[in-house]
Chains A and B, each alone.
Chain A
C-alpha cells in the first residue's frame, strides 16, 4: 500500500508507505544532520559564505527522514541547514533571535547576510525555523503513535478502539487549538484530488496537456485574460465556468489522441493527496494506516514500535538488535522454544523484517517490492546454525568497533545489509557462500583494524636525543627548562563526555574570537534520546528560541541602537505665538 502525494512547488508525484515511513521518521536519528550543519557553520565562519556543496550533503542526510521532507527539500525545507545553524548559535551563546538579528544587521559577509535574511523571514512571518519544526514534528508523531498504539500487556485492541483513540487524540488537539484561538480553517489539512484536477495538474500531466492545448489553441488564443486578483466563495464557480466556456464545445479526441492519452495516463495514480504541511502528512499517514488495517505495537523487550499483524500472538518484534538476533528469537531462545518452529506461517517474521526501519527500503524499485509479496507456497530455507553464529560473531566484532572502523550510521546500514542477505538466503535468492564471503571480508577488516590501533594504544614520549645528564647540564647552562617530550596523540574520537558546545565557533563575525585562535573540538552531541529532549534541556527551549528577546539576556528593545549609540527623536519644543514673535 502506497500513498501518492504532491506538494506545492513541485510538479512530481511522490510516494510514501504508511507505517514504514512513520516508523522510520519516529526513530530517525538527526545527529548526523546536526553534525553536518555545524560543520557547514564552521566552514562559513571561516570563509564568509555558506558552501552550497556542504549544504547539499546535509540536506541529503535529512531528506531520508521522511518522504514529505524529501519531496519538499528544495522548497519548504531548503533553508533548514541555515535554520539549524541559527538554532545552534542561539543555543550555544544563550541569545535570542532578536539579538542575533541585531548583530547581523550590518552584515560583513554573505554568511551574516544569510543569517540576517533568514531571521528577518521569521520576524515577518515568511518563514519558520524548519529544523525546530521537524524536531517538534517527530515529537508529535511519537506522541500520537504512543497514544494510539501503546497497549497494556501488549494485547492488541479492537479496530474500533484504535479508531476511537485516533479520533480522540485529534479531537483533543482541535479543542486545544480552538480554545487557544487558532484560526481553525487555516490549520494543516490534506486535499484529495484526481490527478487531472490538481492545481498543478496541467504541468504534472504535461504530455496530455500539450495535446489538449494544440486542439484548443485557436479558441484560447483569442481568450480574455482573467483579471480578478482574488477568488472567494462568491466568485469561485463563476470564474471556473468562465474558463470552462472555452472548452464546452470540444469534441472527444480521435482514436490516435485518445490512445496517446491512455498511454500517458496509465502510469499515474488514480488519486493524489496534497498536504499543505508536514503535520497534515503525518495525520494522513495515521488515517491511512487505520483504513488499511496496519497496526503498530510496542515490543516489550526493546520498547520500539513495529508493524504487527492483526492475528500475531507474539508481542515481540523481529528487528535485528545489537546481538544480531531479533527480540522474538531471543525470547524464544530464553523460553527454550525452537526458534524457527512455526509450521503454519514458516517465516512470517520475514514479512515484518521489511518494516525494519534500519533497512533503507526507500530506494527499492517497484520490482523489488513485488518480489516481497511471494505466494505462501514458496519454500523457505533455514539459515545453518554455524552460519547464524558466524553472523553474530562478525556482528559483535563490528558492533564493538562501531564509531571507529565505521560510523554508527554506516554500522546500521551494514546491519541492515546483513539482514537483507540473511533474508535473501531464506527466500532462496542467495547462497551461503555469498554470506560467507561477505562475513570474511568484514571479519578481516575488523581484525586488521584492531591490529592497526594497537600501535596507538600507548603513545610513548619521545626520548631526549642526548643522555639525560648532558641534557640537564645543557639546560642548566642555558638557564632553560628541559624540553617537554612531544606526545603522539592516539587517533581516538571524543569520548562524548564533554558536551561544551560553546567551542564550536559558530557565530557571526565580530562576536567571538577568530577561529584560528579557538581550540576546536570535534562536535559531540549530548546524550539524549531525542533531539527535542536535548533542546528542551536547560536553557535551550524551542519556545525560548522563538521568543523575541531570548531568555537570558533581557534587553530594552524599544530603543533603536546604531553602533551602541541610542538613536532618539529630537526634543521638540512647543513654540507659542509670543515666542515666535520674539
Chain B
C-alpha cells in the first residue's frame, strides 16, 4: 500500500496500538475496581460502552465514580502485575498482519510495511514476558496469507499469566473471580473496536482513495 508518508504511517499505527494497549490495561483496572464498592451501583455494561467508545482514553470511566487508587486496586499494584502492560501491547502487536485485510487501490500493506509496524511497537516496549502470549507474528501472518479464520482475540494468556505470576489476583476471592469473568468479554470486544480504529488510521495515512468501495 502506498502511504503519503510511510514513516509517519508506521509510527502512527504503532502509537495507536500502544495507546490501545495502555487503555485496555487501565480499563481492566477500572472495571476491577467496580468489585470493591460499586458492585451494585455501576452497571458493567455502561463501563464496557464507555471503554469501547473511547478506546484511546479511559478517563471517562471516572464519570461512573471509578478510581484507580491503591484502595480499590491494591491487588494490581505489584511489579508482577505491571508486566501485563507490555504483554497486552505484545498480544496486540502479533496481530498486526490482520491489517493486511484492508486494501486500497495500490493493494494491501506489504509484509515489509507490516513488519516495520511490528518492530516499531516492540521498540516502544512490547514484550512477551515468559512467553505468556502463545500467538506469534509469523503464525498470524501465515493464517492471514492463507485466508484462514483467525482465532478470536481472547484473555487466555492474561488469565494464564495471572494464575502463574500474580498471586494476589489468583486467590479465590469475589473480586478476582469478577476479574477473570469480565476479562474474556472485555478483551474480545476491545480488540474488535481497536481493529476498526486501526483500519481507519490506515485510510488516514494512505495515499489511496478509499471512497465508498472499501474492501475489508
Instruction: For the complex formed, measure the closest distance between the CB of B78 and the CB atoms of chain A, giving whole angstroms.
Output: 24
Q: Is A117 located at the chain interface by the 8 A CB criterion?
A: yes
Instruction: For the complex formed, measure the closest distance between the CB of B154 and the CB atoms of chain A, giving whole angstroms.
Output: 8
CB < 8 Å: which of B64, B65, B152 contacts A570? B152
The complex places the Cα of A357 from the Cα of B22 at a distance, in Å, of 59
B45 cross-chain contacts in A, Cβ below 8 A = 560
The complex places the Cα of A349 from the Cα of B54 at a distance, in Å, of 65
Encode contact with B along A124-159: 1 for CB under 8 Å, 0 otherwise: 111000000000000000000000000000000000
Tell whether A565 pairs with B196 under 8 Å between CB atoms, given A124-B42, A570-B188: yes
Q: Is A469 located at the chain interface by the 8 A CB criterion?
A: no
**Contact indicator B38/A124 (Cβ below 8 Å):** yes
**Contact indicator B193/A562 (Cβ below 8 Å):** yes
The complex places the Cα of A484 from the Cα of B42 at a distance, in Å, of 61
Q: Is A116 located at the chain interface by the 8 A CB criterion?
A: yes
Residue of A nearest to B43 (CB): A123
Q: Is A457 located at the chain interface by the 8 A CB criterion?
A: no
Q: Is B60 located at the chain interface by the 8 A CB criterion?
A: yes
Most buried by A among B45, B46, B48: B46
Tell whether A105 pairs with B192 under 8 Å between CB atoms, given A123-B43, A126-B41: no
Encode contact with A along B62-75: 1 for CB under 8 Å, 0 otherwise: 01110000000000
B53 cross-chain contacts in A, Cβ below 8 A = 105-106, 562-563
B48 cross-chain contacts in A, Cβ below 8 A = 560
With an 8 Å Cβ cutoff, the count of chain B residues facing the other chain is: 25
Instruction: For the complex formed, measure the closest distance between the CB of B194 and the CB atoms of chain A, giving whole angstroms.
Output: 11
Q: Is A346 located at the chain interface by the 8 A CB criterion?
A: no
A570 cross-chain contacts in B, Cβ below 8 A = 152-154, 188, 192
**Contact indicator B60/A105 (Cβ below 8 Å):** yes
B52 cross-chain contacts in A, Cβ below 8 A = 560, 562, 567
Instruction: For the complex formed, measure the closest distance between the CB of B36 and the CB atoms of chain A, giving whole angstroms.
Output: 13
Most buried by A among B49, B185, B188: B49
A563 cross-chain contacts in B, Cβ below 8 A = 53
Encode contact with B along A109-120: 1 for CB under 8 Å, 0 otherwise: 000010011001
B196 cross-chain contacts in A, Cβ below 8 A = 562, 565
Tell whether A117 pairs with B41 under 8 Å between CB atoms, given A562-B53, A562-B193, A565-B196: no
**Contact indicator B49/A560 (Cβ below 8 Å):** yes
Encode contact with A along B125-163: 1 for CB under 8 Å, 0 otherwise: 000000000000000000000000000111000000000
Instruction: For the complex formed, measure the closest distance between the CB of A329 and the CB atoms of chain B, giving whole angstroms.
Output: 57
Residue of A nearest to B59 (CB): A113
Q: State the main secondary structure of chain B at its contact with A.
A: helix
Q: Is A102 located at the chain interface by the 8 A CB criterion?
A: yes
B189 cross-chain contacts in A, Cβ below 8 A = 560, 567-569
**Contact indicator B193/A567 (Cβ below 8 Å):** yes
Q: Is B35 located at the chain interface by the 8 A CB criterion?
A: no
Encode contact with B along A246-281: 1 for CB under 8 Å, 0 otherwise: 000000000000000000000000000000000000
Tell whether A125 pairs with B41 under 8 Å between CB atoms, given A106-B54, A107-B60, A120-B64: yes
CB < 8 Å: which of A124, A565, A567 contacts B41? A124
The complex places the Cα of A570 from the Cα of B43 at a distance, in Å, of 22
Q: Is B1 located at the chain interface by the 8 A CB criterion?
A: no
**Contact indicator B42/A105 (Cβ below 8 Å):** no
Residue of A nearest to B184 (CB): A569
**Contact indicator A572/B193 (Cβ below 8 Å):** no
CB < 8 Å: which of A107, A124, A126, A567 contacts B192? A567
CB < 8 Å: which of A116, A117, A569 contacts B185? A569
- Count contacts between A and B, CB distance < 8 Å: 56
**Contact indicator B152/A120 (Cβ below 8 Å):** no
A562 cross-chain contacts in B, Cβ below 8 A = 52-53, 193, 196
The complex places the Cα of A124 from the Cα of B50 at a distance, in Å, of 14
The complex places the Cα of A113 from the Cα of B50 at a distance, in Å, of 12
Instruction: For the complex formed, measure the closest distance between the CB of B201 and the CB atoms of chain A, giving whole angstroms.
Output: 14
B60 cross-chain contacts in A, Cβ below 8 A = 105, 107, 113, 116
Instruction: For the complex formed, measure the closest distance between the CB of B6 and the CB atoms of chain A, giving whole angstroms.
Output: 27
Most buried by B among A117, A560, A572: A560
B153 cross-chain contacts in A, Cβ below 8 A = 570
Residue of A nearest to B40 (CB): A125
The complex places the Cα of A569 from the Cα of B41 at a distance, in Å, of 24
Residue of A nearest to B150 (CB): A570
B63 cross-chain contacts in A, Cβ below 8 A = 116-117, 120-121
Residue of B nearest to A114 (CB): B63
Instruction: For the complex formed, measure the closest distance between the CB of A408 and the CB atoms of chain B, giving whole angstroms.
Output: 39
The complex places the Cα of A565 from the Cα of B152 at a distance, in Å, of 18
The complex places the Cα of A107 from the Cα of B53 at a distance, in Å, of 10
**Contact indicator A105/B64 (Cβ below 8 Å):** no
The complex places the Cα of A106 from the Cα of B60 at a distance, in Å, of 8
Those of B93-119 within 8 Å (CB) of chain A:
none
**Contact indicator B65/A572 (Cβ below 8 Å):** no
A116 cross-chain contacts in B, Cβ below 8 A = 60, 63
Instruction: For the complex formed, measure the closest distance between the CB of A551 and the CB atoms of chain B, giving whole angstroms.
Output: 21
A102 cross-chain contacts in B, Cβ below 8 A = 49
A568 cross-chain contacts in B, Cβ below 8 A = 189
The complex places the Cα of A462 from the Cα of B42 at a distance, in Å, of 64
Instruction: For the complex formed, measure the closest distance between the CB of A257 and the CB atoms of chain B, giving whole angstroms.
Output: 41
The complex places the Cα of A120 from the Cα of B38 at a distance, in Å, of 13
Encode contact with B along A486-519: 1 for CB under 8 Å, 0 otherwise: 0000000000000000000000000000000000
The complex places the Cα of A282 from the Cα of B152 at a distance, in Å, of 59
The complex places the Cα of A116 from the Cα of B60 at a distance, in Å, of 9
**Contact indicator B54/A123 (Cβ below 8 Å):** no
CB < 8 Å: which of A126, A565, A569, A571 contacts B65? A126
B49 cross-chain contacts in A, Cβ below 8 A = 102, 105, 560
Q: B interface vs A, CB < 8 Å? A: 38, 41-43, 45-46, 48-50, 52-54, 60, 63-65, 152-154, 185, 188-189, 192-193, 196
Known: A113-B60, A565-B196. 12 other contacts (CB 8 A): A102-B49, A105-B60, A116-B63, A120-B65, A123-B43, A124-B41, A126-B41, A562-B193, A567-B193, A570-B152, A570-B154, A570-B188
When A and B form their complex, which 8 residue pairs have the shortest distance between CB atoms, in order from nearest?
A570-B152, A120-B63, A117-B63, A105-B53, A124-B41, A125-B41, A106-B53, A562-B52
17 pairs from A and B in contact (CB 8 Å cutoff):
A105-B49, A105-B50, A105-B54, A106-B53, A120-B46, A120-B64, A121-B63, A123-B46, A124-B42, A126-B41, A126-B65, A560-B49, A560-B52, A562-B196, A567-B193, A569-B189, A570-B188
